[in-house]
């Protein structure tokens, strides 16, 4: 086990920024090694005189020289090398050996199981850059970079700036504009490349050779979206993309959806579709492409000074990505997709004890800041920016953002800087808005009380605020919907429609946790199947999901609504989000889980049969039918090829069937191993891990557990899949012994996993099926101890979720009627 590195404190960052100006990085990497690579960094800087430290996380250090003078390499401790700098200019030269990693951070090395080829990419985000090159790792010490790379001759190397191969295996890159350390990347390997150009901007796509055919098939769609978004961002901002080439690299085992590195954006390569996918998945990819393009302005031209303003990156990119995708691409229903995929993510995060303001989130260090890349910074922030845009209007909104970009070009800024720009552009009343919406955590709960004829507004007790909500309510009378404007500015607002059902804010015009009354919920079982407005259906489901999370809706009522609506559902996002949520969260809390599961399964099968053959709607329904099936013989028949017309068994569907058979205890490890041998792809390897961990056998749970403890060292995707497969409803007798082991392991888990993967390990292995007061009490007792911030945040979040499940179980056991 290793000693965890120190995470940069905000106070330390401020002191270092006051001391230093970094003028240039020159980085030379030799990527021809097996497990490590050589890294030589030369940093030109100016100092005001004083003591500070360099960030460096190597496997070995050969030398550190300051102005030509050798320093003692043994001074390096926990990722920091101390420096005493006189006033004036200095040159630092560091020669080190760095580790190739398999956790999606630093310089990640992947060996493709399909063909044995090696691939590398850089992820410098949040404490990871110092495992690639020596640096001053904080967002407000920007500098230009010049890279020199030696790589195997058959490799191509792409970076933040245009580069060329000057001799076999030797690559030289142009100097970048000033970049924060966390933007620096290289993508190197025998990647399949596609080149294009638009409006003077060289475009590129790349993916592993085993995905070459899939990338070629997807290239037209990807490039069409990219070009349309560039045109729209140029129109809206009036500032051209300033980073030269725009390469989009689809890389293996990437933790996030994507990373906005200037000149070379990296994406997780499951976004290159080697199997058929739903329309919703295509929308997700398009919005991700647009999101990362928005970052080229919000984040890359102007970067937050510190992580407490990370919303200046993510909330804006989320809002602009959805908006531009909906406005200028074929995916005009992007906001409906957002309602199904992102709204609850944000609301759930905002209702947990770990909630934080959108802005000024109190990020005391980089590790704490990493926890705030969550549904609040993305989904909630986006929703509030949408409200702010509606309040200002486009003219003021974009005039202010353009002023912000111009004033702080290639520099750093704060929220106050942006709001000053908006004020100069003509915005008024921003202080009150900022206080109520951006600086106060937690959502108001909005509920229509049918008996009193009022909309009740309940702010979170821990975070009171006076917020006015303006939205449309959908009111159903005699099987027809009407929209009624509502303004809620008091704890109780009169609202007395004659209605069979009322859905508050179905179009997400405010940020609030809206619930639904019991009579409306009953009426939805007949209303929603004939409702053609997809956004209204999404809003109704979000009210149901919120009500269930708050312990107000019986699980059987949820399944009854789904069983009634799935057979006529026309949006595959509904099937691909609502059904998995019900299977994972709702069914196990029903007093009759087998019956409600069968009801839901029959509804999905009906939709498979009635959906247009070959449609993505049919595909989504079939995926749901697989996941909800309790009949191993039926699943085996599908696996043998006895599938409905329009369904083709590709690698994703075959593994979905294998995983389901595993969860049902109707396959063996030998059969799963044989399936992996037949299709030895990266995707297969991940799904194989999920399937093995899902088997209802003690050895399978131990197999999964070894990945959590680090006894078996596996890449990040396989670690996550093993955890999600391990904890299966109905297998509690096998998993219950691991509950105590899970909590016992948490205090020292940062010595096994780090960074992003530490959070992934805790989330995927959290014992969510152990829905008992004893488990909750054990979690609370541990949370009171001194824990790593990542461990504490994930423990607190998932304990709260478990408490909500326990409250619903008690509601059911108490005899609440469905």
Q: How far apart are CA 809 and CA 590, in angstroms?
A: 8
Q: How far apart are CA 221 and CA 282, in angstroms?
A: 9
Q: How far apart are CA 72 and CA 200, in angstroms?
A: 49
Q: Decide: 37 and 70 in contact? Cβ < 8 Å.
A: no
Q: Encode burial over 168-182: b for 16+ CB neighbours within 10 A, e otherwise.
A: ebebebbebbbbbbb
Q: How far apart are CA 565 and CA 543, in angstroms?
A: 15
Question: Catalytic positions, please?
Answer: 292
Token readout for 376 is 């609040």
3 state DSSP class of 115 = coil
Q: How far apart are CA 702 and CA 641, in angstroms?
A: 33
Q: Provide Rg for the chain, Cα atoms.
A: 27
| Interstrand relation of 258-259 and 302-304 (parallel, antiparallel or unpaired) | unpaired
Q: How far apart are CA 381 and CA 389, in angstroms?
A: 12
3 state DSSP class of 411 = strand
Q: How far apart are CA 665 and CA 728, in angstroms?
A: 11
Q: Decide: 160 and 259 in contact? Cβ < 8 Å.
A: no
Taking CA atoms, 762 is separated from 219, 354, 466, 770, 789, in Å, by 36, 16, 36, 15, 12
Q: How far apart are CA 648 and CA 661, in angstroms?
A: 19
640 burial level (CB within 10 Å; 0-12, 13-18, 19+): exposed
Report the candidate in 659, 663, 695, 664 with the shortest Cα–Cα distance to residue 675: 659
Secondary structure (H, E, C), 20-55:
EEEEEEEEEEECCCCCEEEEEEEEEEEECCEEEEEE
| DSSP per position, 599-645 | HHHHHHHHHHHHSPTT-HHHHHHHHHHHHH---HHHHHHHHTT---T
Residue corresponding to tokens 């992580």: 307
Q: Decide: 409 and 317 in contact? Cβ < 8 Å.
A: no
Token readout for 342 is 């992102």
Phi, psi values for residue 195, rounded to 5°:
-115, 150
- Greatest C-alpha distance within the chain: 85
């Amino acid at each position: 086990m290793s000693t965890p590195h120190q995470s940069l404190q905000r106070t330390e960052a401020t002191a270092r920024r006051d001391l230093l100006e970094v003028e240039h990085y020159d980085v030379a990497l030799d990527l021809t090694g097996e497990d490590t690579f050589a890294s030589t960094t030369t940093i030109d800087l100016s100092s005001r005189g004083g003591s500070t430290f360099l960030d460096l996380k190597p496997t070995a250090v050969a030398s550190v020289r300051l102005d030509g003078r050798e320093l003692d390499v043994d001074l390096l401790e926990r990722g920091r090398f101390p420096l005493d700098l006189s006033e004036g200019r200095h040159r630092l030269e560091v020669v080190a050996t760095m580790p190739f990693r398999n956790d999606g951070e630093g310089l990640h090395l992947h060996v493709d199981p399909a063909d044995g080829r090696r691939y590398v990419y850089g992820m410098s985000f949040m404490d990871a850059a110092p495992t690639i090159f020596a640096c001053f790792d904080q967002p407000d010490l920007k500098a230009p970079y010049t890279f020199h790379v030696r790589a195997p001759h058959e490799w191509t190397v792409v970076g933040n700036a245009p580069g060329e191969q000057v001799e076999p295996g030797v690559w030289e890159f142009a100097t970048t504009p000033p970049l924060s350390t966390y933007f620096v990347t290289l993508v190197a390997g025998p990647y399949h490349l596609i080149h294009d150009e638009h409006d003077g901007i060289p475009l590129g796509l790349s993916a592993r050779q085993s995905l070459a055919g899939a990338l070629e098939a997807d290239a037209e769609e990807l490039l069409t979206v990219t070009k349309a978004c560039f045109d729209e961002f140029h129109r809206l901002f009036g500032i051209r993309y300033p980073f030269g080439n725009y390469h989009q690299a689809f890389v293996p085992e990437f933790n996030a959806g994507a990373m906005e590195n200037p000149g070379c954006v990296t994406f997780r390569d499951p976004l290159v579709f080697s199997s058929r996918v739903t329309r919703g998945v295509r929308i997700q990819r398009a919005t991700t492409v647009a999101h990362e393009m928005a970052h080229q302005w919000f984040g890359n031209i102007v970067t937050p000074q510190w992580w407490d303003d990370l919303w200046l990156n993510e909330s804006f990119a989320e809002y602009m990505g959805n908006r531009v995708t909906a406005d200028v691409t074929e995916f005009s229903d992007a906001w409906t997709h957002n309602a199904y995929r992102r709204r609850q993510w944000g609301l759930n995060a905002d209702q947990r004890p770990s909630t934080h303001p959108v802005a000024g989130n109190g990020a005391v260090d980089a590790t704490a800041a990493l926890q705030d890349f969550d549904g609040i910074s993305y989904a909630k922030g986006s929703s509030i920016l949408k409200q702010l845009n509606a309040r200002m209007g486009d003219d003021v909104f974009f005039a202010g953002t353009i002023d912000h970009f111009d004033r702080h070009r290639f520099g750093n800024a704060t929220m106050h800087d942006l709001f000053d720009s908006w004020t100069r552009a003509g915005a008024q009343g921003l202080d009150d808005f900022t206080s109520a919406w951006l600086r106060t955590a937690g959502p108001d709960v909005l509920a229509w009380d049918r008996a009193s004829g009022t909309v009740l507004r309940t702010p979170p007790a821990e975070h009171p605020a006076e917020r006015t909500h303006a939205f449309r309510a959908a009111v159903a009378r005699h099987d027809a919907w009407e929209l009624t404007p509502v303004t809620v500015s008091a704890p109780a607002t009169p609202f007395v429609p004659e209605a069979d059902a009322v859905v508050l804010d179905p179009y997400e015009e405010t940020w609030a946790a809206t619930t639904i009354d019991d009579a409306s919920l009953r009426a939805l079982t007949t209303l929603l199947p004939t409702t053609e407005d997809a956004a209204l259906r999404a809003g109704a489901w979000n009210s149901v999901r919120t009500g269930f999370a708050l312990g107000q809706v019986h699980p059987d009522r949820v399944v009854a609504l789904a069983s009634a609506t799935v057979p006529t559902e026309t949006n595959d996002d509904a099937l691909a989000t609502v059904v998995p949520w019900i299977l994972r969260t709702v069914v196990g809390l029903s007093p009759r889980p087998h019956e409600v599961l069968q009801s839901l399964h029959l509804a999905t099968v009906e939709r498979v049969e009635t959906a247009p053959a070959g449609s993505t709607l049919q595909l989504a329904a079939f995926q749901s039918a697989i996941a909800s099936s309790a009949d191993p013989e039926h699943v085996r028949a599908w696996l043998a090829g006895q599938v409905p017309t329009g369904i083709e068994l590709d690698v994703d569907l075959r593994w979905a069937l294998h995983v389901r058979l595993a969860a049902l205890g109707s396959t063996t490890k030998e059969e799963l191993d044989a399936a992996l041998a037949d299709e030895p792809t990266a995707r297969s390897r991940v799904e194989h891990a999920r399937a093995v961990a899902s088997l209802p056998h003690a050895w399978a749970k131990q197999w999964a557990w070894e990945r959590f403890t680090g006894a078996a060292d596996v890449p990040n995707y396989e670690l996550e899949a093993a955890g999600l497969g391990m904890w299966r409803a109905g297998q509690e007798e096998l998993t219950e012994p691991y509950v105590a082991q899970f909590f016992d392991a948490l205090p020292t888990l940062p010595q096994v996993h780090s960074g992003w993967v530490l959070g992934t390990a805790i989330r995927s292995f959290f014992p969510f099926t152990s829905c008992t007061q004893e488990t909750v009490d054990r979690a609370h007792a541990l949370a009171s101890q001194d824990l790593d911030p990542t461990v504490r945040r994930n423990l607190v979040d998932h304990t709260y979720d478990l408490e909500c499940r326990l409250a619903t179980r008690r509601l059911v056991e108490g005899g609440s009627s469905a």
